Amino acid sequence: MKSPFQYGKLAEGTTFVNRLKEKQMLKNNLVSGINTMLISPRRLGKSSLVKLATTELLNENKEIKVCYIDAFTLNTEEGFYQAFAREVIKSASNRWESWLTTGKKYLQALSPRISIGSDPMYDFSIGFEMSAIKENELELLNLPEKIAQAKKIKMIVCIDEFQNFAKMKTYPELEQKMRSVWQHQQNVTYCFYGSKRHMMMEIFNSSSKPFYRFGQIMFLSKIAENEWVDFIVNAFGRTGKSISSELAKTLVSKVDLHSWYVQQLSHFVWNLTENEVTEDILMQATEQVIDANLPLYQRECEALSATQINLLAAVASGEQMLASAEVTAKYRLGTSQNVSKNKKTLQNADLLEKTKNGFNFLDPVFKQWFVSEYVR
Ligand SMILES: Nc1ncnc2c1ncn2[C@@H]1O[C@H](COP(=O)(O)OP(=O)(O)O)[C@@H](O)[C@H]1O
Ligand SMILES: [Mg+2]
């Protein structure tokens, strides 16, 4: 029988747990034309939530069309404009014949090269000359609004890992142009989501930046313990195995309610279990999760300097006064300048997050492994 748990792919159908409130809020926003920026550490469930919420909107309302762009793979402005035009055109119609006509009609000035590949459903590309892009940037950014007006539809444009755009050298000009065109659109709503909290906040919450007050910022929190426990107990039951609520609680607490790890650990436990989950199985499966992620953790640590590792060790040991003379000396953190630089670097690398209560590890399993390796 197939495992009822899944990771590495978007959660959907029976593998999707709850998030009813967040889903409703996101749907309400998007249907009301409120641009929404969704932020959480990676692998907590942003992409899954946006996909589910927008799919429901698509099914409920025939006037709505949705397109998805992943900024993670886009490193140049030209690349962005091409992906943007392609996905907007694709979403406006299900028929590839009309992609050709739509592309030609609305992007005439850019004389696009449009090609349909062997699998027309997915294999569609649109290319422009660089010079044509440069002269028609605003036109391109306005494409969804133009199509939406003409076809009397509403468009939702979803951009995943939006903060990745900020890595482009020309991003400051790009964001000016985006904002200046997008703020006037009446029939298009934007949903941007990203894993790098401070970069997202820098883009959307600094009063000096163009995207300041572009829409509502939403922080996605972890799925609650009782939701996970119900899901896990049911999933085992459905597949002819069983787990007690107590052990399910222990399971989710081992990975600190982190969505991806809950699914991965549950999957390993399920695989090891013939009938009923035992504590022993849970221990073995936890080892398997660490083993499975070990190469990643090692690679992450190899990229760090000695004082950065020491700073992680101090945080892992629960120290909060990281700049104090005592802590600096005890953990050999270097100069105070060094400490503040390392704090930034570790946040940028997504290893630490700063909360009201001080610094925390973002990845609960990495933390466990790190403690066993580096903290005595
Ligand atoms: N609502 C959910 N219910 C159950 N599992 C989830 C949920 N959201 C995410 N997950 C788990 O977490 C993993 C990462 O989810 P994803 O949506 O890709 O996160 P993000 O976009 O925040 O990085 C999924 O593969 C799935 O295993
Ligand atoms: Mg994602």
pLDDT digits (tens, 9 = 90+) for 95-139: 776 777 877 788 777 777 877 777 766 667 787 787 888 888 999
Q: Which two tokens stand for residue 277?
A: 């989950």
Q: Whose CA is nearest to atom 16 of ligand 1?
A: 45
Asked if 66 and 92 sit in the same domain, the reply is: yes
Q: What's the CA gap between 272 and 281, in Å, rounded?
A: 7
Ligand 1 atom nearest to 263, measured from its CA: 27
CB of 43 closer than 6 angstroms to any ligand 1 atom: yes
pLDDT reported for residue 207: 94
> What is the rounded radius of gyration, in angstroms, for the C-alpha atoms of the chain?
24
Give the Å distance between the CA of 265 and the centre of ligand 1.
14
Residue 5 lies in a domain: no
We report the CATH number of the domain holding residue 114 as 3.40.50.300
One domain for residues 57 and 201: yes
pLDDT at position 376: 74
Domain end: 275, 299, 323, which one?
Answer: 299
Last residue of a domain, one of 273, 299, 325: 299
In a domain, residue 249? The reply is: yes
User: Are 74 and 134 within one domain?
Assistant: yes
Cα–Cα distances in Å, from 32 out to 69, 153, 171, 363? 21, 14, 28, 35
Closest ligand 1 atom to Cα of 48: 17
| pLDDT tens per residue across span 231-286 | 999 999 999 999 999 999 999 999 999 999 999 999 999 999 999 999 999 999 99
CATH number, residue 240? 1.10.8
Check if 215 has its Cβ closer than 6 Å to any atom of ligand 1. no
Question: 42 CA distance to ligand 1 centroid (A)?
Answer: 9
Residue 12, in any domain of the structure: no
**Residue 259 in contact with ligand 1 by CB distance below 6 A:** yes
41 lines ligand 1 (CB under 6 A): no
- Domain tally for the chain? 3
Element (H, E) at 37: strand 36-39
User: Last residue of a domain, which of 299, 324, 357?
Assistant: 299
* Residues 201 and 277 occupy one common structural domain: no
In-domain check, residue 13: no
Closest-approaching ligand to the CA atom of 9: 1
